Amino acid sequence: MKPRTLQVLVIDANTFSRGLIGEILRSLNVTNISSARSEEMAANFLLERPTDAILLSWEEGDSLDGLNFVRRLRKHEDDRLRRLPVILITAGLTRQMVINGRDAGVDEFLAKPISPMAMRQRLEMVIETPRPFVDCNVYLGPCRRRKNPADYYGAKRRSGERVAERPALIDQDEIAAQTPMRLILSQLRQTCVHLRASRPEAIATAFEQLKTAKSLAIEAKDHALHAGLASFESYVGVATPLGQLEEPVITTALTALEQLAALPQNYAEARDSVAIALGKAIQKKLAA
């Protein structure tokens, strides 16, 4: 795979999330990136621009119906378009979602927060060793078997001979190690559920967790994550007393913080971009 020659379309209803995925792609030297926030916009891009792979970021409940988009793509009259590889990116990667996505025609899956290594691996899989495309009465899309038929076509392929296997449906490399930072951010996400419900006791807990997280970031000399935590802390501090906490802002901030915790520190440029973008988004919200 030659990252600089790849043409990738990122589809995500959330502006901040689209930008975050773009930063991770750029950290992998993928620079030809288009983006779309809706099915209609994505369909237009595909007709107008050459595309090698689609990154579809989708959560259940989004305004964008991700699986419906994939089903429509697989039925497209243009054979080139309907065979385009689709990587589904989601924070709610469950076995049922994998089954539903597979049946809709999704090629591969990627869990949030996104590991750059996992992103590279998925792109290599769909570009270098794509699964055969199945076109029959009951299914349209990439072969749903997890063993890669490209590795072996012999008569005994099903008889127990060892063949190369693709990674498990939900890979361990997508489940970030439970470091102290990851654990405190997980606790913070739970606290924010009560924060949204305006429970007074949650405010003190949130500030204590943010204080702990910032201390961990200082110990690790993680300036980008510390900056992101400070931005979120300022939002909670200003918006809470005024009763102006907004769920989209909280969700965006938590997603960005978890992504910063998942990105290795040697991805400095991408990490700085995420932290700066989060800071600007919060400043804009507080100034409104």
Tens-place pLDDT, residues 123-136: 999 999 998 999 88
pLDDT (tens digit, 0 to 9) for every residue of the chain, 288 residues total? Answer: 788 899 999 999 988 899 999 999 999 999 999 999 999 999 999 999 999 999 999 887 788 889 999 999 999 999 999 999 999 999 878 888 889 999 999 999 999 999 899 999 999 999 999 989 998 888 989 997 755 443 333 444 444 444 334 444 444 444 445 789 999 999 999 999 888 776 778 889 999 999 999 999 999 999 999 999 999 999 999 987 777 888 889 989 999 999 999 899 899 999 999 999 999 999 988 887
Q: What is the CATH number of domain 3-174?
A: 3.40.50.2300
pTM for this model (two decimals): 0.82
Torsion angle, alpha carbons of 101, 55, 267, 118, to 10: 30
Torsion angle, alpha carbons of 218, 224, 230, 231, to 10: 180
Amino acid 177: pLDDT? 56
In terms of Cα–Cα distance, which of 52, 22, 24, 207 is closest to 117?
24
Residue boundaries of the structural domains of the chain: 3-174, 180-287
Coil, strand or helix at 116: helix
Span 84-132, pLDDT tens digits: 999 999 987 888 888 999 999 999 999 999 989 999 999 999 999 998 9
- Preceding amide of 132 cis, omega within 30: no
Number of residues written out for the chain: 288
Burial class (CB in 10 A: 0-12, 13-18, 19+), 128: exposed
What Cα–Cα distance (Å) separates residue 222 from each residue in 174, 214, 218, 241, 250? 21, 9, 6, 29, 21
Across the strands, what pairs with 111? Answer: 90
165 within 8 A of 146, measured Cβ to Cβ: yes
Alpha helices in 129-240 (DSSP H): 180-196, 200-219, 223-239
DSSP state string for 223-285: HHHHHHHHHHHHHHHHHTTTT---HHHHHHHHHHHHHHHHS-TT-HHHHHHHHHHHHHHHHHH
Burial class (CB in 10 A: 0-12, 13-18, 19+), 52: middle
